[in-house]
Amino acid sequence: MRNVSIKRETKETNISIKLNPDGSGKVSVDSGVPFFDHMLTAMAKHGGLDLTCVAKGDLGVDCHHTIEDIGIVLGDAVKQAIGEGHGIQRFAHAIIPMDESLATVALDCGGRGYVVFSGTFGNRTIGTIPVDIFEHFLYSLCTRAGITSHIMFSGKNDHHKCEAVFKAFGIALGQALTISRDKKTIRSTKGKF
C-alpha cells in the first residue's frame, strides 16, 4: 500500500492530507469551504482514492489560499505515492456526463506538470467560490505532482460542469495510479520519469 501523510503549515493555512491511491473511496474532507468539500469528495470517491483532508485557512480574507494550498499538498501526496513510477499505469482518461454537462480529462502521471483547461463557467462564482480558483487548484495539484492534464468541459449549469470535471479528474487519476501486473515496469522509453 502507498499510504501518504503530508502536512503543510504557512502563515495563511494549515493543511493535513492522508492519501491512499489503493483505497476504496473512503473520504473525509473539511476545508471550511462547503462546495469545495463537495468537489474534492466527488473526485476522491469516484477515483477510488482514500482521502482525508483537514484544512484551516484565512477564510476571512477569501478561500483562495486554502484551496490553492490544498492543491499543493495533494499534489505533493500524489507525487510521493507515484515515487519513481514503478508499475503505475501512468496514462488514463475519463469522459463524464452530468445531466447537460460533459467533462473530458486525460492525464499523464509521468513527471511533467502541465494543465490545459478548456471550458467556461457562466457565472463569476459557484457557491462562494470564484470560478477561476478551480483551474488554479488543478494547476497547483498537477504541477506539484508532475501530471500533465487536459481538461475540457461544456454545459449550461456551472455546478454540473464543475462536478463533472472533478469526477472525471478523480476517475482518470485513480486509473493512472493503478499498479499494473508488472509492478517493476516504468512506462517510459527513457526508463525513468
pLDDT, tens digit, 9 for 90 and up, residues 13-29: 999 999 999 999 999 99
Closest C-alpha to 4, from 73, 94, 89: 73
From CA 21, how far away is CA 2, in angstroms rounded? 7
Is residue 1 predicted with pLDDT exceeding 60? no
From CA 99, how far away is CA 160, in angstroms rounded? 7
From CA 118, how far away is CA 151, in angstroms rounded? 6
Q: What's the average model confidence in pLDDT over 169-181?
A: 94
Q: What's the average model confidence in pLDDT over 119-144?
A: 97
CB burial readout 138-150, b (16+ within 10 A) else e: bbbbbbbbbbbbb
Q: What does the pLDDT look like over 85-102, one tens digit per residue? A: 888 999 999 999 999 999
Pairing of strands 13-20, 50-57: antiparallel
DSSP 88: B
Is residue 2 predicted with pLDDT exceeding 70? yes
Bigger pLDDT: 73 or 192? 73
Q: What mean pLDDT, rounded, does the chain reach?
A: 95
Q: Give the pLDDT score at 145.
A: 98
Q: What does the pLDDT look like over 32-41, one tens digit per residue? A: 999 999 999 9
Closest C-alpha to 70, from 37, 21, 93: 37
Q: Give the pLDDT score at 191.
A: 66
From CA 150, how far away is CA 148, in angstroms rounded? 7
Cα→Cα distances 133→4, 41, 68, 110, 140, Å: 25, 17, 8, 25, 10
Q: What does the pLDDT look like over 73-83, one tens digit per residue? A: 999 999 999 99
Q: Can you give the residue ranges of every domain in the chain?
A: 4-176
Domain 4-176 has CATH 3.30.230.40: yes
Q: Give the pLDDT score at 189.
A: 61
Q: Give the pLDDT score at 86.
A: 86
E strand intervals along the chain: 4-9, 13-20, 27-30, 50-57, 91-98, 101-108, 114-118, 125-126, 129-130, 148-154
